[in-house]
Structure 1
Amino acid sequence: MSEFRNTRAADRFRAAYDHALAALWPGPRTAHDLPTAYGRTRVYRTGPGSSGGVGAGRPVVLLAASGGNALMWHHQLAELASHHPVFAIDPVGEPGASEQSAPIADGADAAAWLDQVLAELGLHDAHVVGCSYGGWVALQHQLHRPGRVGALTLLDPAGFNGFGLRFYAWLIAGGLAACAPRTLRPRLARLVGNSAVLEGELMKMSRAAAGFRRALPVPPVLTDEELDRIARTGVPAQFLLGARSALHDSPAVAARIARLLPAARVEIVPDAGHSLPMDRPGLVTARILSASSAATP
């Protein structure tokens, strides 16, 4: 299971997390700690209906990338919350305010965890937005627990390629760039193709998570049969792929999606890499809002 190495590592991260939460979260929020079979899950709720009931508009559920939590969406939160109830999740097994108590061994477990969170929130027609690993979890949920989600937005989702040397080199280069003097970081961010380097609070929190042992399944490549099953659920889906993604060949992935999920909307986003919510924050927000409005019953 994912966990901190020791109490000191956990305390160090908690201090950085609390500081980032206070610095980055726009406006009011309500924290909910929800029980699941895989551990206590922290969800932050904001937007219409925060004081009770779901409120107007289709609920938007935000799933973070690997190593991330609800705060990675801080650029999108204010605008989304002005139109929709928003539920930003700290995934079990990632560094955040959730606490894992049982292993997540595969996609079926990841799907069961998300389904339990949605059930605890009383959501039955949510617009689920997942970035990278969070996108893979959303797709696994459609495979194993369809029927609770009303729309999908997937940002450079994992599950369409293995994690090759290019991706790990991108991660390492981004980590080194984030440690460079602040005046050099904008230039280095452009060089390595990762705007997350410029996210000071998130980078401090990421460094504080060095004492966290992550033990979640590596996403296998989705088969044609699995993608066909997702297509047959009929859930509206849009895919945003970074033109300079370090994870996969975006044109090839777009072509495969067009072949196997012909009803899905696919967009290759220029001037963006794998960190879409940071590389193109305004575009990501606009696309989520557009899909939410189009999918509203």
Structure 2
Amino acid sequence: MNDILEPNIGGASSRRRLGHFRDASAFARYRNAYDQAMAQLPEPDQAQDVVTSFGTVRVYRFGDGDGVPLLLLPGRTASTPMWEPNLAGLTAHRPVYTVDLLGEPGLSVQTRAFTSAADQAGWLAELLAQLGHDRVHLFGVSIGGWSAFHLALHAPEKVASVSLLDPASLFGRFTWKVVVTSLGSVLPFFPESWRRGLLSWISGGADASEDEPIANLISAGMRDFTAFLPPPTYPTDDQVAGVGVPVLALIAGRSIIHDPRKAALRARRLLPHGVVELWPDASHAINGEFPERVNARVLAFVDEIDRTGHAGGTP
């Protein structure tokens, strides 16, 4: 799909507290980076814009078949192209949907301000209702994992399982390092070299140079997009324990967003239907560092759910 909705641009969008690009030139730069990054992905079988009460959501479908699909939710300031390392391997086994999150850089267009975690789960539930599937397997990284978790709380009847890659603000609280990194995403005049250095730092030293299309896209989103998102709420013990669907949580041992070991301990203690693994060598960019291993683990997990209805051999 080449045609896109009119993006939110500065001015009125700012006054309405909607995610928006700073000006038309900022969007043009971002769109160029987006198209270059999308060119690295397999060709989508379908692209559609789905209307919800909080805005219109850009959704791509990759692969066909009748299996229960995966719905992929990206991290903060990222969008569909961040899944490039994983898509080919996942779509070889089952259909996959990817989403550009509302209120974040991407081709989704927010029309109503968010005031709570329930709002952010609400539009995702509306999206699920329109995709035409009884249930989906959710697969989220970082803030996408947080979104997947709250969607499972909000609309469990639509969720077959949840796979979380180093989820943000779920099992461990944010560290001071996250505050430092966040500055690069909110200060428009933050030096580009510093911004790329922060991207590399949070990604465990991954390449964030101008030759890397996904890094270019994320950097463009950090520089040219303004978000108005409520701080991600940290769930209570009762909320975590209240998730009634199977959960796979892969915690990155070198993550800077939380204390990995404490996060793994909390997840193991509270998740009633959870499989929790601490990957010592992984950073927060776990999906790109270990794409084959991540894909294999997630696919084995969702295959078991489809086959038995539960995970880990425990009903």
Q: Using the alignment, how far apart are the partners of 2:201 and 2:149 within structure 1? A: 30
Kept in 2, the 8 Å contact 1:62–1:128? The answer is yes
Task: Confirm whether residue 165 of structure 1 aligns to residue 181 of structure 2.
Answer: no
Kept in 2, the 8 Å contact 1:177–1:189? The answer is no
Q: Secondary structure at the match of 2:47?
A: strand
Q: Which residue of 2 aligns with 1:64?
A: 74
Q: CA deviation at 1:170?
A: 5.3
Q: Which residue of 2 aligns with 1:193?
A: 204
Kept in 2, the 8 Å contact 1:178–1:197? The answer is no
Point out the more displaced range, 130-139 or 256-265.
256-265
Q: CA deviation at 1:163?
A: 2.7
Task: Confirm whether residue 20 of structure 1 aligns to residue 33 of structure 2.
Answer: no
Q: CA deviation at 1:242?
A: 0.3
Q: CA deviation at 1:112?
A: 0.6
Task: Confirm whether residue 229 of structure 1 aligns to residue 212 of structure 2.
Answer: no
Q: Using the alignment, how far apart are the partners of 1:279 and 1:173 within structure 2? A: 23
Q: Which residue of 2 aligns with 1:242?
A: 252
Point out the more displaced range, 87-96 or 3-12.
3-12
Q: Which residue of 2 aligns with 1:150?
A: 160
Q: Among 207, 218, 235, which residue is 2:231 paired with?
A: 218
Q: Which residue of 2 aligns with 1:207?
A: 219
Q: Which residue of 1 aligns with 2:311?
A: none
- C-alpha offsets along residues 66-115 of structure 1, whole Å, 9 cap, x if unaligned? 11111111111011111101001111111111111111221101111111
Task: Confirm whether residue 139 of structure 1 aligns to residue 152 of structure 2.
Answer: no
Kept in 1, the 8 Å contact 2:63–2:92? The answer is yes
TM-score by length of 1: 0.87
Identity of aligned residues (%): 36
Q: Structure 1 regions of 5+ residues with no counterpart?
A: 49-54, 181-187
Q: Secondary structure at the match of 1:267?
A: strand
Kept in 2, the 8 Å contact 1:178–1:203? The answer is no
Q: CA deviation at 1:207?
A: 2.8
Question: 1:255 is matched by which residue type in structure 2?
Answer: L
Q: CA deviation at 1:259?
A: 1.2
Q: CA deviation at 1:122?
A: 1.4
Task: Confirm whether residue 40 of structure 1 aligns to residue 69 of structure 2.
Answer: no
Q: Using the alignment, how far apart are the partners of 2:168 and 2:179 within structure 1? A: 14
Aligned residue pairs total 281
Task: Confirm whether residue 8 of structure 1 aligns to residue 25 of structure 2.
Answer: yes
Q: CA deviation at 1:27?
A: 3.7
- C-alpha offsets along residues 44-68 of structure 1, whole Å, 9 cap, x if unaligned? 10111xxxxxx33220000001111
Q: Among 80, 88, 98, which residue is 2:98 paired with?
A: 88
Higher relative contact order (CA 8 A, sep 6+): 1
Q: Which residue of 1 aligns with 2:122?
A: 112
- C-alpha offsets along residues 15-46 of structure 1, whole Å, 9 cap, x if unaligned? 11112112x11244311110011111001101
Question: 1:18 is matched by which residue type in structure 2?
Answer: D
- Provide closer, same or farther for how the CA distance between residues 292 and 8 of structure 1 changes in structure 2, counting only shifts above 3 A: same
Moved over 3 A (4+): 168-180, 188-192
Q: CA deviation at 1:162?
A: 3.3
Q: Using the alignment, how far apart are the partners of 2:99 and 2:228 within structure 1? A: 18
Kept in 1, the 8 Å contact 2:195–2:219? The answer is no
Q: Using the alignment, how far apart are the partners of 1:207 and 1:265 within structure 2? A: 33
Q: Which residue of 1 aligns with 2:6?
A: none
Kept in 1, the 8 Å contact 2:59–2:99? The answer is yes
- C-alpha offsets along residues 102-144 of structure 1, whole Å, 9 cap, x if unaligned? 1122110111111111111112221100111111111111222
Q: Using the alignment, how far apart are the partners of 1:295 and 1:195 within structure 2? A: 33
Q: Using the alignment, how far apart are the partners of 1:190 and 1:94 within structure 2? A: 21
- C-alpha offsets along residues 188-226 of structure 1, whole Å, 9 cap, x if unaligned? 958972426367101211232212101112112110111
CA RMSD of superposed structures (Å): 2.4
Q: Using the alignment, how far apart are the partners of 1:78 and 1:191 within structure 2? A: 25
Q: Which residue of 2 aligns with 1:294?
A: 304
Q: Secondary structure at the match of 2:107?
A: coil
Point out the more displaced range, 156-165 or 122-131.
156-165
Q: CA deviation at 1:172?
A: 7.0
